[in-house]
Structure 1
Amino acid sequence: MKLEPLPSPIYYRGPISFPNIKLYSMARTEEKKQRQHGMGRHLVLFPCPLEGHLNPMLHLASVLHSEGFSITIIHTHFNSPDPSNYPNFNFKPISDGLQDEEATRTDLMAFISDINVNCKVPFQDCLVRLLLENPQDQIACIISDALMHFTQAIANNMKLPRIILRTSSATSFVTCAAFPLLRQKGYLPIQDPQSEVMVSELPPLRVKDLPNIGTDKLDNLYQLVANMINETKTSRGVISNSFDYLEQMAFAKIRQDFSIPFFPIGPLHKYSSGHSSSLLNHDHSSMAWLDKQAPSSVIYVSFGSLAVMEKTELVEMAWGLANSDQPFLWVIRPGSVHGSEWVELPQGFEEKTRGKGCVVKWAPQKEVLAHPAVGGFWTHCGWNSTVESVCEGVPMLCWPCFGDQRVNARFVTHVWRVGLHIENGLNRRLIENAIKRLMVEMEGEELRKRIMVLKENADCCLRKGGSSYESLHSLIDCILSL
């Protein structure tokens, strides 16, 4: 299927003002000499300042540093990473132009759009300073998050190659690339009467499974997606935090429609057990609690760093967990309930679950999922959480909230068949039944067997000769050739 061409991207065409054009020209001349001698091993990485995007970029930085590259991380002041966790990297903060109330608002699409506008000049100025500070240190390329599409125009202006990192699933990328077709066919914008209709062009997705950020400015959303896709096509390659066995069909589609190199090198978090890049403080008491639980008995409940629920939904979750009579570790992040920084659990909940439940504000998720006591994961199906669950062989209970999470949940339940989907609103009886199906019934055992196959393939792809191992070395060769 050939997709219709997307609208032309909006390029940044503002003037480039260098502090000293003569010094800059000298730096570029020196870089050309170094390139001829194969000395370009300095990489500049620019992540999207959201936890689910920042973590994979820092994992990628660690992987590339271990392969001999020097790393500079340009980052916004908002959600700034902790440089002390990465002493081998050079961190360069830039202004993001956000006020506190803007940075914490719930309109994610507007936030991403503002970052793409506000960071243009600061990002460019930071690159110029890097070139002037050390003219002998050639920048091999820029690696930026796919959502930070403005970086392509800056890279073009400065004659630097750009490679992008896709932190979401390859399948959701294919879906975003199909937005013009989906709009033409009437699938978008999503209408309630047709939400259950199958999208024949993208099986097994239904209309309700299509990505949705939740904004009333749909034209801005479609333009943002169009810019992202177009600037991906003009980049020098795409790095994917996924692996061949998991998304073979999506990779084939991308390679068919995009005439640029594609490098599925994931799962990125499995390359090393380095410092945590979480923006929230982990409560490690949860690990001591897990040590006291029986093998595969605990359901871990966490909905990521951005999902927000209603108070009524939290109440139904609480009683569903309590009535299931299963041990649980429940992460309730501050600010995760509309209108409250913190909430009280229902009266009587603590008494009913005493000794069977542990509630924390944040948990070391990768360690939790790897713990032998954990037998299920109730998740929002963010891509990082999905991949981490696959890598530890933990079947999922899916409750997607926005964005690519609906696509991921559909594949978890209907393609890989390693999870159950909670749909059409939350109520305690539905939750109780779903937890029992996942944790103690034969259906859950079948899910567990299938996800162990995915886990084994995730392990194999990183070994010498595996698909991700080979893709990583292809990526390194590509960077050095630039």
Structure 2
Amino acid sequence: MGGERKRSSKPLVLVASPFQGHMTPMLQLGSVLHSNGFSITFAHTKLNSPDPSNHPEFLFLPLSDNFSAIDASANYTKFLEALNNNCKTQLQDHLSRKIKDEMNHTITVIHDNIMYFAEEVASNLNLPSIVLRSCSASYMPAFLSLSYLHAKGQLPVRDSMMEELVPDLHPLRYKDLPFHSTPTEVATEMLALAERIRTPSAIIWNTMDFLENSALTQLQEHYKIPIFSIGPLNQMARCPSTSFLEEDTGCISWLDKQAPRSVIYVSLGSLATMDETELAETAWGLAKSQQPFLWVVRPGSVSGSEWIEFLPEGFMEEVRGTGVVLKWAPQKQVLAHSAVGGFWSHCGWNSTLESITEGVPMICQPVMGDQCVNSRYLSYVWGVGLELEILERKVVESAIRRLLVDVEGEEMRRRANSMKEKAKCCMCKGGSSFNSLQELVELITLSD
């Protein structure tokens, strides 16, 4: 992808956030833009910093953020605000020096949407700034409607309304809305943070036109600035693993011994946690399905756990030879493996794209943020996902068998393979993502 025309090394400064789901597409975007002739400075927090040895083509700029961990509790908005405040002066000082060094080129700043301080710094220095959105495009109309729904008294959502469709947000139900149970004051703080980004030159979305055309059209009308749908970045970028956690690659040799499309891969992302009951229901559902499985259980997945000591008694003996439990998997490799027939996921956008682009249908267990919206689209619109309504062993067993054994799963796999082929076409010369990337390159180049 890209690299057809040799360009001068125009400088880009990419400002990443410390969340795995945000860091991954920013690193991938950096690789794609570098292959199109740009020089990349990658500014990142010291919290969850990427490994520079994986990206020798980038210059890395660590920003002291004064945090040792992500605070995903009720203090989340305060955490984001402090993160932005702590990094701002360092970026401004660096860019001020870089401007003097780059006499022949205008520096363009591309920043993650939650690192809004970068836009303010760019504006102070008269530099163009572009936002990278790491969520689905379909999530944004729902997010943008939250203020209106709060004002109408429809949020937080009452139990009696959960299953109702939200007017003007088809196909979303109230329970699919982001922050649908969040207290009004917290949701208001989140919306206020989102509004801190005021005057970007453009927005980049890690998606594909065929997948989210309706949402992209709405967003173009709403923002009235160029929107570039450049995805799937996981396929376009030539870069190694972006994982913060150490990947257990030994599972690939186990997959090599399994029958084609027979394995359910289970991973609920890098942040989600569960209690002991939920862990037990997941475990016995996997065992009773009698299907081979590869299950990621992170240390700390259950609060206070070292690793798998809270798994129910007798489980490991029952599944010996059928399943593998590991701390973290090389997800792109796993999903690309011929043995994997389904992906039980939290439906983060990176995981969703990785599954779609490998033609793997999904079991959807959303947890937070845009995941409920993604789950609804996967199951109801795109027809490549099964929604896990409750985490109960018989429901889990049924969902796995529907996906891997039944005719329903065959049909979902056929649709998923069709989407995989369409995604490939997007990246080919003349495809929507190929064209969008060329237009982005032109926009940045013309800013000189």
Matched position secondary structure for 1:143: strand
- How big is each residue's C-alpha offset from its partner over 1:357-402, in whole Å with a ceiling of 9 and x where there is no partner? 0111000101100000000000000000001000000000000001
Q: For 1:292, give the aligned amino acid.
A: K
Distance 2:433 2:121 in 1: 30
Check the 8 A contact 1:308/1:336 in 2, yes or no.
Answer: yes
Distance 1:449 1:229 in 2: 41
Selected match of 2:112 from 139, 145, 162:
145
Distance 2:367 2:86 in 1: 28
Aligned partner of 2:379 in structure 1 is: 413
Larger-Rg structure? 1
Aligned partner of 1:279 in structure 2 is: 244
Check the 8 A contact 2:99/2:107 in 1, yes or no.
Answer: no
Distance 1:380 1:112 in 2: 23
Check the 8 A contact 2:156/2:180 in 1, yes or no.
Answer: no
Aligned partner of 2:13 in structure 1 is: 44
- How big is each residue's C-alpha offset from its partner over 1:46-79, in whole Å with a ceiling of 9 and x where there is no partner? 0111111001000000000000000001111100
Asked if residue 55 in structure 1 is aligned to residue 31 in structure 2, the reply is: no
Decide whether aligned partners of structure 1 residues 143 and 406 sit closer, same or farther in structure 2, where only a CA change above 3 A counts. Answer: same
Check the 8 A contact 2:285/2:393 in 1, yes or no.
Answer: yes
Aligned partner of 2:361 in structure 1 is: 395
- How big is each residue's C-alpha offset from its partner over 1:72-118, in whole Å with a ceiling of 9 and x where there is no partner? 011111001111111110001111122x3x53554444432321222
TM-score, with length taken from structure 2: 0.94
> Post-superposition shift, 1:350?
1.2
Distance 1:438 1:242 in 2: 25
Aligned partner of 1:71 in structure 2 is: 40
Check the 8 A contact 1:40/1:139 in 2, yes or no.
Answer: no
Correspondence list, 1:42-191, <5 A: 42-98=11-67, 100=68, 103=70, 106-107=73-74, 108-132=76-100, 134-136=101-103, 138-191=105-158
Q: For 2:358, give the aligned amino acid.
A: E
Check the 8 A contact 2:8/2:37 in 1, yes or no.
Answer: no
Distance 1:122 1:109 in 2: 21
Q: For 2:82, give the aligned amino acid.
A: D
Distance 1:139 1:275 in 2: 29
Aligned partner of 1:461 in structure 2 is: 426
Unaligned runs of 5+ in 2: 1-6
Check the 8 A contact 1:461/1:469 in 2, yes or no.
Answer: yes
Q: For 1:380, give the aligned amino acid.
A: H
Distance 2:123 2:300 in 1: 40
Distance 2:328 2:25 in 1: 19
Distance 1:85 1:319 in 2: 39
Q: For 2:31, give the aligned amino acid.
A: S
Q: For 1:173, give the aligned amino acid.
A: M
Check the 8 A contact 1:94/1:126 in 2, yes or no.
Answer: no
- How big is each residue's C-alpha offset from its partner over 1:227-285, in whole Å with a ceiling of 9 and x where there is no partner? 42461x52000000000010011011011111100000100010134211111110001
Structure 1 window deviating more from structure 2 (376-385 vs 185-194): it is 185-194
Asked if residue 200 in structure 1 is aligned to residue 167 in structure 2, the reply is: yes
Check the 8 A contact 1:109/1:221 in 2, yes or no.
Answer: no
Decide whether aligned partners of structure 1 residues 314 and 114 sit closer, same or farther in structure 2, where only a CA change above 3 A counts. Answer: same
> Post-superposition shift, 1:131?
2.9
Q: For 1:414, give the aligned amino acid.
A: Y
Matched position secondary structure for 1:144: strand
Distance 2:237 2:321 in 1: 34
Matched position secondary structure for 2:50: coil
Check the 8 A contact 1:116/1:149 in 2, yes or no.
Answer: yes
> Post-superposition shift, 1:214?
7.2
Distance 1:137 1:79 in 2: 34
Decide whether aligned partners of structure 1 residues 153 and 274 sit closer, same or farther in structure 2, where only a CA change above 3 A counts. Answer: closer
Q: How many residues are paired up?
A: 439
TM-score, with length taken from structure 1: 0.88
Distance 2:144 2:199 in 1: 14
Unaligned runs of 5+ in 1: 1-37
Check the 8 A contact 1:120/1:150 in 2, yes or no.
Answer: yes
Aligned partner of 2:4 in structure 1 is: none
Check the 8 A contact 2:155/2:180 in 1, yes or no.
Answer: no
- How big is each residue's C-alpha offset from its partner over 1:104-151, in whole Å with a ceiling of 9 and x where there is no partner? 55444443232122222222222223334x243634310000111222
Check the 8 A contact 1:214/1:402 in 2, yes or no.
Answer: no
Check the 8 A contact 1:39/1:138 in 2, yes or no.
Answer: no
What is the RMSD computed on CA atoms of the aligned residues? 1.8
Q: For 1:207, give the aligned amino acid.
A: Y
Distance 1:285 1:249 in 2: 41
Check the 8 A contact 2:208/2:230 in 1, yes or no.
Answer: yes
Q: For 1:119, give the aligned amino acid.
A: C
> Post-superposition shift, 1:310?
1.1
Structure 1 window deviating more from structure 2 (103-112 vs 351-360): it is 103-112
> Post-superposition shift, 1:39?
6.0
